[in-house]
């Protein structure tokens, strides 16, 4: 699928926004402005952006504990995201969910999720709803290599294949689940071959090449929209930083040369250099794009800072079972 220049520039802008959002979130967490845990996805931006560039607002995605990139790529409002991280009433969950629970049904973002693997059956449910609606919408499930060891992975793939659901399973294989290297947890470390056991296409792509991700996702989404059933895409990538942070970044436990190698495969200059080589982007235009992202992020911080904290009276509202909780 040939991508037009405006679409390519939007994809570049979205990757830059995700990277800068994460860099800022880490600083604001260390400064005590953000509450809870932050799991940065820096380095993995090409997966969220390459996949979501194939989707519409009525297509639905499920995310993970590392969900900021998925939110931004699906079109979430960064002001409401920032307000949520700040624990304020104008946040997506009125300040009571934090980083790992951001959802926006209006754009088909069914939610980040702190439970590893939990998005898999939810996405299968969303795909069943899309199939019953019959409008050609699809569901996409983002999950990590760690989730592949969970029963839900196999259950979701199986039922999706049996019912030919319009779903794309997108594994972000970043070689680690928390601090555990992939070979510690998987007998076979490649994820794509699991697709064969469920009779669906399974491909592995360079997850730091947004165009390769987009190409694979386009094929899988088209297949799902055409009623031909599910696919699995393994995106090989790497997170630049620690698994998660509270008030300060934890020490790095991965080999320094491995981290350096993956940083040299940064997906953002890979796309911007490509666009410059094709004459679609100038250094000045890139600078302007970065400045605009910076302005939007500053506006998001101001928005979050000006929003009040929820009151005590709000403690039990919007809970799953408010009546039961009150008794």
Ligand X SMILES: Cc1ncc(C[n+]2csc(CCOP(=O)(O)OP(=O)(O)O)c2C)c(N)n1
According to the binding rule CB under 6 A, does residue 207 interact with ligand X?
Answer: no
| Sheet with strand 202-206: strands edge to edge | 60-62, 139-144, 167-173, 231-236, 202-206
Q: Which of 36, 114, 136, 201 binds ligand X (CB under 6 A)?
A: 114
Residue ranges with strand state E in the chain = 60-62, 139-144, 167-173, 176-177, 180-181, 202-206, 231-236
CB of 150 to ligand X, least distance (A): 7
According to the binding rule CB under 6 A, does residue 145 interact with ligand X?
Answer: yes
Q: Which of 42, 99, 160, 174 binds ligand X (CB under 6 A)?
A: 174
Beta carbons of 152 and 144 less than 8 angstroms apart = no
Q: Which residues pair with 38 in a beta bridge?
A: 245
Rounded-to-integer distance, Cα 142 and Cα 147, Å: 10
Q: Which of 16, 126, 130, 147 binds ligand X (CB under 6 A)?
A: 147
Q: Which residues sit at the interface with Mg ion, rule CB under 5 A?
A: 144-145, 174, 177
Closer CB to Mg ion, residue 144 or residue 310?
Answer: 144
Q: Which of 69, 87, 146, 267 binds ligand X (CB under 6 A)?
A: 146
Return the SS3 of 3.
Answer: coil
CB of 260 to ligand X, least distance (A): 19
Beta carbons of 247 and 253 less than 8 angstroms apart = no
Query: How many C-beta atoms surround the C-beta of residue 301 within 10 A?
Result: 18
According to the binding rule CB under 6 A, does residue 208 interact with ligand X?
Answer: no
According to the binding rule CB under 6 A, does residue 298 interact with ligand X?
Answer: no
Closest by CA to 140, choosing from 19, 76, 233, is: 233
Closer CB to ligand X, residue 146 or residue 207?
Answer: 146
According to the binding rule CB under 6 A, does residue 38 interact with ligand X?
Answer: no
The two beta strands, 180-181 and 202-206, are unpaired
Closest by CA to 49, choosing from 80, 8, 5, is: 8
CB of 145 to Mg ion, least distance (A): 4
Closer CB to ligand X, residue 135 or residue 187?
Answer: 187
Q: Which of 178, 282, 298, 302 binds ligand X (CB under 6 A)?
A: 178
- Binding part of the chain for ligand X, among 23-31, 109-117, 210-218, 310-318 by CB under 6 A, reads 109-117
Q: Which of 25, 61, 177, 210 binds ligand X (CB under 6 A)?
A: 177
According to the binding rule CB under 6 A, does residue 176 interact with ligand X?
Answer: yes
Beta carbons of 143 and 171 less than 8 angstroms apart = yes
Task: Give 8-27 as a DSSP string.
Answer: HHHHHHHHHHHHHHHHHHHH
Query: How many C-beta atoms surround the C-beta of residue 250 within 10 A?
Result: 12
125 binds, among Mg ion, ligand X, none (CB under 5 to 8 A by kind): none
- Binding part of the chain for ligand X, among 17-25, 76-84, 172-180, 277-285 by CB under 6 A, reads 172-180
Rounded-to-integer distance, Cα 206 and Cα 236, Å: 5
Site string for ligand X, 59-88 (x = CB under 6 A): -----xxx----------------------
Residues that bind ligand X (CB under 6 A): 64-66, 114-117, 144-147, 172, 174, 176-178, 243
């Amino acid at each position: 699928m040939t991508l037009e220049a405006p679409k390519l520039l939007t994809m570049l802008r979205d990757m830059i926004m995700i990277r800068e959002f994460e860099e800022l979130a880490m600083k604001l967490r260390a400064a005590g402005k953000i509450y809870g845990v932050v799991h940065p996805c820096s380095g993995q931006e090409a997966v969220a952006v390459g996949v979501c560039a194939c989707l519409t607002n009525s297509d639905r995605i499920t995310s993970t504990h590392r969900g900021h990139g998925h939110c931004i790529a699906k079109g979430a409002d960064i002001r409401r995201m920032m307000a949520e991280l700040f624990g304020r009433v104008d946040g997506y969950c009125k300040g009571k969910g934090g980083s790992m629970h951001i959802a926006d049904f209006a754009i088909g973002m069914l939610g980040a999720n702190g439970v590893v693997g939990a998005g898999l059956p939810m996405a299968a449910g969303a795909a069943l709803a899309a199939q019953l609606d019959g409008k050609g919408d699809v569901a996409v499930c983002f999950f990590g290599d760690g989730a592949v060891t969970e029963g839900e992975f196999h259950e979701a793939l199986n039922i999706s294949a049996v019912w030919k659901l319009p779903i794309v399973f997108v594994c972000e294989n970043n070689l680690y689940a928390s601090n555990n290297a992939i070979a510690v947890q998987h007998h076979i470390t490649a994820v794509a071959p699991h697709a064969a056991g469920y009779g669906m296409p399974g491909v592995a792509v360079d997850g730091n090449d947004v165009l390769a991700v987009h190409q694979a996702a386009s094929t899988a989404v088209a297949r799902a929209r055409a009623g031909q059933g599910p696919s699995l895409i393994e995106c090989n990538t790497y997170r630049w930083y620690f698994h998660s942070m509270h008030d300060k970044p934890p020490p790095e436990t991965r080999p320094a040369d491995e981290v350096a190698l993956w940083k040299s495969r940064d997906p953002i200059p890979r796309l911007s250099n490509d666009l410059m080589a094709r004459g679609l982007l100038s250094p000045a235009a890139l600078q302007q794009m970065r400045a605009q992202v910076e302005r939007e992020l500053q506006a998001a911080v101001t928005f979050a800072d000006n929003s009040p904290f929820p009151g005590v009276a709000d403690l039990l509202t919007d809970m799953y079972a408010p009546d039961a909780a009150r008794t």
